[in-house]
């Protein structure tokens, strides 16, 4: 492309100025179609903010950076590639994933390996194909959850309720916990026992404690050892502040299914080198706490 520089005039200069103004580097009054000192200063400021070598002309590299910085979330499909996607839309994606509890490695506007991993986990959480590609389906889910992430920072503080404060939650929500292996059934049963011990009127029970089939109104929460690839919203167990947020997202995603069903993948039958019983109890405590917070 032809380099755009001081003294130039016309539609190309105005396009550059409009993009600089949109990004906050140039005042609206300076969008005149004439490349003067104010535009040159804005170009220098933009280069510094985007990690480019300082210059006061718009060459091919600066123009591409301006285009990338002008994208909004959903304007283009994002995925891991070389060179990395960069831009405002990537930063918005990172901000949304971070606020929803997925670790993106920082909101730097660069679609790297950490962002792809967070995206894959988010997609699995909502029952989408976990392909690491932010396309139409992913953007639709993000828009549906916008009230949960818009204007919020990445999750940094704990959101656990504690069982005493969650007693009313246990009584309000009918949930059937189940597993398909001895260990996952043990986790589900322990979660049920903890819930009843906290509030005898608890409606959060394990399938083993039911004498009849679960009511259609009950939410089904499966404790599993691996994902199934069947489209059921799936949350990977990580004992951190994001677990309840991710469970909440999975439950919202499953609202239109009948019955409502989500899956939690525990990492194995041992936690931190502990024995099977202690590990099952640890998973039960932290999962019930996170589930109550999610509800």
Tell me the residue range of the domain where 128 lies: 88-149
The token duo for 90 is 């990537």
Nearest to 123 by CA among 107, 105, 136, 108: 136
User: Does any domain span residue 277?
Assistant: yes
Whole-number pLDDT of residue 3: 94
User: Does any domain span residue 201?
Assistant: yes
Judge whether 217 and 225 are in contact, CB under 8 Å.
no
| 293/158 Cα distance (integer angstroms) | 10
Residue 164 has pLDDT above 60, yes or no: no
Q: For residues 290 and 171, state if they share a domain.
A: yes
What residues pair up with 175 in beta bridges, in sequence order?
A: 204, 219
Helix residue spans in the chain (DSSP H): 11-22, 37-50, 60-70, 88-99, 113-125, 136-144, 146-149, 167-172, 182-198, 243-253, 276-294
| Edge-to-edge strands, sheet with 204-206 | 204-206, 175-179, 219-224, 261-265, 234-236
Average pLDDT over residues 6-31: 93
262: DSSP letter = E
Q: For residues 263 and 226, state if they share a domain.
A: yes
Q: How confident is the model at residue 166 (pLDDT cuts 50, 70, 90)?
A: low
Nearest to 244 by CA among 89, 101, 130, 81: 101
236-245 in b/e form (b: 16+ CB < 10 A) is ebebebbbbb
Q: Which of 5-14, 23-32, 62-71, 165-174 has the least mean pLDDT? A: 165-174
Whole-number pLDDT of residue 27: 94
Q: For residues 100 and 141, state if they share a domain.
A: yes
* Residue 102 CB-density burial (10 A; 0-12 exposed, 13-18 middle, 19+ buried): buried
Backbone angles phi, psi at 168, to 5 degrees: -70, -30
60: DSSP letter = H
Whole-number pLDDT of residue 152: 77
120-130 tens-digit pLDDT? 888 887 888 88
Average pLDDT over residues 155-181: 68
Q: How confident is the model at residue 82 (pLDDT cuts 50, 70, 90)?
A: confident
Give the CATH number for residue 52: 1.10.101
Q: How confident is the model at residue 167 (pLDDT cuts 50, 70, 90)?
A: low
Q: Which of 8-17, 210-219, 262-271 has the least mean pLDDT? A: 210-219
The pLDDT mean for the chain works out to: 86
Residue 59 has pLDDT above 80, yes or no: yes
Judge whether 97 and 111 are in contact, CB under 8 Å.
no
Judge whether 111 and 77 are in contact, CB under 8 Å.
no
Average pLDDT over residues 85-102: 90
Q: For residues 37 and 140, state if they share a domain.
A: no
Residue 184 has pLDDT above 90, yes or no: yes
Judge whether 58 and 4 are in contact, CB under 8 Å.
yes
Whole-number pLDDT of residue 258: 83
Q: For residues 270 and 185, state if they share a domain.
A: yes
User: Does any domain span residue 197?
Assistant: yes
| 251/262 Cα distance (integer angstroms) | 7
Of 73-87, 145-159, 207-221, which has the strongest mean pLDDT?
73-87
Average pLDDT over residues 102-112: 85
Whole-number pLDDT of residue 130: 85
Average pLDDT over residues 149-159: 64
Q: For residues 275 and 181, state if they share a domain.
A: yes
Counting the structural domains of the chain, the total is: 3
Whole-number pLDDT of residue 161: 44
User: Does any domain span residue 60?
Assistant: yes
Give the CATH number for residue 136: 1.10.101.10
User: Does any domain span residue 64?
Assistant: yes
Domain final residue, candidates 35, 70, 105: 70
Residue 45 has pLDDT above 90, yes or no: yes
| 77/99 Cα distance (integer angstroms) | 21
What residues pair up with 220 in beta bridges, in sequence order?
A: 176, 261
87: left (phi over 0), alpha (psi -120 to 50) or beta: left
Whole-number pLDDT of residue 163: 45
Neighbours of 264 (CB within 10 A): 25
Q: Which of 139-143, 164-168, 215-219 has the least mean pLDDT? A: 164-168
| 268/272 Cα distance (integer angstroms) | 10
Average pLDDT over residues 105-120: 87
Torsion of CA 97, 51, 19, 119, to 10 degrees: -20
204-248 tens-digit pLDDT? 889 887 767 777 788 999 999 988 878 899 999 987 778 888 898
Average pLDDT over residues 180-190: 93
User: Does any domain span residue 159?
Assistant: no
Whole-number pLDDT of residue 172: 85
User: Does any domain span residue 175?
Assistant: yes
The token duo for 283 is 């998973």
Q: For residues 223 and 271, state if they share a domain.
A: yes
Q: For residues 181 and 275, state if they share a domain.
A: yes
Q: For residues 98 and 63, state if they share a domain.
A: no
Average pLDDT over residues 48-60: 89
Q: For residues 122 and 225, state if they share a domain.
A: no
User: Does any domain span residue 206?
Assistant: yes
Domain final residue, candidates 120, 149, 178: 149
Q: For residues 111 and 64, state if they share a domain.
A: no
Who has greater pLDDT, 115 or 101? Answer: 115
Q: For residues 185 and 238, state if they share a domain.
A: yes
Judge whether 46 and 20 are in contact, CB under 8 Å.
yes
């Amino acid at each position: 492309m032809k380099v755009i520089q001081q003294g130039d005039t016309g539609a190309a200069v105005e396009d550059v100025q409009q993009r600089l103004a949109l990004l906050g580097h140039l005042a609206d009054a300076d969008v005149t179609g004439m490349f003067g000192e104010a535009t040159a200063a804005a170009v220098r400021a933009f280069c510094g903010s985007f990690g480019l070598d300082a210059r006061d002309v718009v060459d091919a590299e600066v123009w591409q950076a301006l285009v990338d910085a002008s994208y909004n979330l959903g304007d283009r499909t994002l995925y891991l590639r070389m060179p990395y996607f960069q831009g405002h839309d990537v930063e918005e994606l990172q901000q949304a994933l971070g606020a929803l509890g997925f670790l993106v490695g920082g909101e730097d506007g660069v679609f790297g390996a950490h962002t792809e991993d967070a995206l894959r986990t988010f997609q699995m959480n909502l029952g989408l194909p976990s392909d690491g590609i932010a396309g139409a389906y992913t953007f639709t889910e993000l828009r549906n959850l916008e009230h949960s992430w818009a204007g919020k920072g990445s999750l940094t503080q704990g959101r656990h309720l504690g069982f005493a404060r969650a007693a009313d939650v246990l009584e309000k929500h009918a949930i059937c916990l189940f597993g398909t292996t001895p260990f996952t059934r043990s986790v589900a049963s322990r979660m049920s026992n903890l819930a009843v011990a906290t509030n005898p009127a608890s409606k959060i029970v394990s399938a083993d404690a039911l004498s009849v089939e679960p009511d259609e109104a009950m939410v089904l929460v499966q404790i599993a050892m691996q994902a199934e690839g069947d489209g059921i919203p799936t949350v990977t167990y990580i004992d951190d502040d994001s677990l309840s947020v991710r469970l909440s997202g999975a439950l919202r995603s499953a609202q239109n299914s009948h019955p409502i069903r989500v899956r939690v993948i525990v990492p194995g039958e041992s936690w931190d080198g502990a024995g099977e019983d202690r590990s099952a109890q640890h998973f039960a405590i932290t999962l019930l706490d996170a589930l109550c917070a999610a509800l």
